[in-house]
Structure 1
Amino acid sequence: MSLDDRAALVTGASRGIGRAVALALAARGAAVAVNYRSRKEEAESVVREIEQAGGRAIALHADVGDPQAARGLVEEATSALGGLHILVNNAGITDNGLIWDVSPDAWLDVMRVNFGGAYHCTAAVAKDFMAQRDGSIVNISSVMGLSGWIGQSNYAASKGALNAFTRSTAVELARFGVRVNAVAAGIVPTELVDDVLAKDGGKGIRQQVPMRSFATPEQVADVVAFLAGPEASYVTGEVVRIDGGLAAQLGMGRP
């Protein structure tokens, strides 16, 4: 699968799934804008890794939860890379806790980044993608957006909103040759879920996954690259689970 002559913007790409996605797209030939909010050194490390492998990349700072910053990010990425064809909305945060314990602002903070970032960046690329009748948007969602779990009410709500947004924008943009899909990742051991895995290193949760293992960022990134590329040219409006069978069963136990 080749992404030669394609340019991609990956939000929240300094670490975790975003980093793996940026590397996977670059390995397939895409030029990549590596977005970060606070981890400049880590983003620049991703850029160096891509360049050392013979690819082309740039690190760009922006808080995608801010609509003006998101628009500026898209404009800067488009200018720096000479165009834009792929957008991966990956930036995300957590603020876990039981609904009666969490801060009243917890839901808003999580929604602003997890859903708002995707909303703002998608709105920012839409006109150019429509005009060139070419573009692929992949949203990084979660199985938490498909089912409920203890302590995840605000995070699950943000991902549920992202899934609905994926389907609606896919329908809106399809006639312009622009595809929109999402991946619903299962448990991926990154900093984002450190608190969830803290109890026993995740052993109890892992035993409840049918495949008895957690996903790696690279496994998620491979599916993202597929959805972004030409092999998925007739796929749009899909939320693809990458969870080792987690969402296929009746339910998980407590964390």
Structure 2
Amino acid sequence: MDLGLLDKVVVVTGASRGIGRATALAFAAEGARVALTYRARRDAAEAAVAEIAAAGGHGLALRMDLSDPDTIAEAVAAVRDRWGGIDGLVANAVRWPDRLPDPDRHFEDVPVSEWTDLWRPNTEGMIALMQAALPAMRGRADGRIVLVSSDVARHRGPGHPGLGIYGAAKASISGLANGLIAELGGDILVNIVAPGLTVTEHNLAAMPQSARDAQIARTPTGRLSTPDDVARAIVFLCSAANGNITGDTVNVTGGI
């Protein structure tokens, strides 16, 4: 299937590792020109760009911090200056909690500052990104946006105690998407990809093997998703192969 991505300009935020990196490489493999953003891991982002270049592709590493709107605007401007505009935007960057959730800590004991430290970059930063990128996307054929959420935003079963702050921030993405699809209509298709527990560097470091084994035991496919699993769903939704899917959420969870 021709995904129609040759020479398209795609921005993937939070692309120095994990799902973002896999997604950037997948777009480049389809011939897209890919801008990868990073917050602190410049070497890792530039290594991904070098890998893209070695395969004959075009990549660009740019710093972007969700808590700093100026860096968001500067990254978008750099893409526009280099390639003229943006065809696809994958909003994958996320600010993680500073510590693992404590299942024994009561919801009402979480300081407000802990809420705002996580809420603001993951919600206000996402809004700032949309406001910066949309002027560079309007008027171009096959405009596509994918917002990366998490199954934590909707999960009601066991396995996610203490993640109320992060889950609330991710759930806000659905409201943002609803507003975007109403305004953008068929000009720019907007969808959400919600991964479950994915085998990324961050998750491997954060979760003990026993927790991962428990999650695998509950997953119908019998395995956790990989970054490539998530990347393939994102690339499809951002491609011309997606002709009329907008406002939907694709859950890459192995059926859990």
Between 1 and 2, higher relative CO (CA 8 Å, sep ≥ 6) is seen in: 2
Q: Of 190, 195, 218, which residue of structure 2 is paired with 1:185? A: 195
> What does residue range 140-179 of structure 1 map to in structure 2 within 5 Å?
140-148=148-156, 149-175=160-186, 177-179=187-189
The aligned residue for residue 54 of structure 1 is: 56
Partner of 2:143: 135
Shift of 1:212: 1.5
Q: Which residue does 1:232 correspond to in 2?
A: 242
- Once the two structures are TM-superposed, the CA of residue 238 in structure 1 deviates from its matched residue by 0.9
Match for 1:238: what amino acid?
D
Measured in 2, the distance between the counterparts of 1:27 and 1:101 equals 47
Q: In 1, distance between residues paired with 2:112 and 2:245? A: 39
The alignment of Structure 1 onto Structure 2 pairs a total of residues equal to: 245
Alpha-carbon RMSD = 1.8
What is the alpha-carbon distance in structure 1 between the residues aligned to residue 200 and residue 162 of structure 2?
A: 18
The residue that corresponds to 1:109 in the other structure is 117
1:163 maps to amino acid: S
Q: Which runs of 5+ in 2 are unaligned?
A: none
Q: CA deviation at 1:62?
A: 1.7
Secondary structure of 1:137's match? strand
- Distance in 2 separating the partners of 1:100 and 1:212: 36
The answer (yes or no) to whether the contact 1:64–1:113 under 8 Å persists in 2 is yes
Contact 2:87 / 2:140 at 8 angstroms: preserved in 1?
Answer: no
Q: Matched residues, percent identical? A: 34
List aligned pairs for 1:78-93, cutoff 5 A: 78-93=80-95
| 1:80 positional shift | 1.8
| CA distance in 1 between partners of 2:243 and 2:235 (Å) | 12
> Which residue in the other structure is 2:226 paired with?
216
Q: Which residue of 1 aligns with 2:43?
A: 41
Out of 120, 130, 133, the residue aligned to residue 122 of structure 1 is: 130
Letter in 2 for 1:124: A
TM-score for both structures, normalised by structure 2: 0.89
Q: Secondary structure at the match of 1:8?
A: strand
The Cα of 1:126 is off from its aligned counterpart by: 1.6
The answer to whether the 8 A contact 2:87-2:141 is kept is no
Aligned partner of 1:252 in structure 2 is none
User: Matches of 1:32 and 1:112 in 2, distance apart?
Assistant: 27
Q: How does 1:197-208 map to 2 (within 5 A)?
A: 197-198=207-208, 200=210, 202-208=212-218
Unaligned runs of 5+ in 1: 247-255
Specify the SS of the correspondent of 2:222: coil
* Secondary structure class of the residue paired with 1:157: helix
My pick for the range that moved more, 5-14 or 73-82, is 73-82
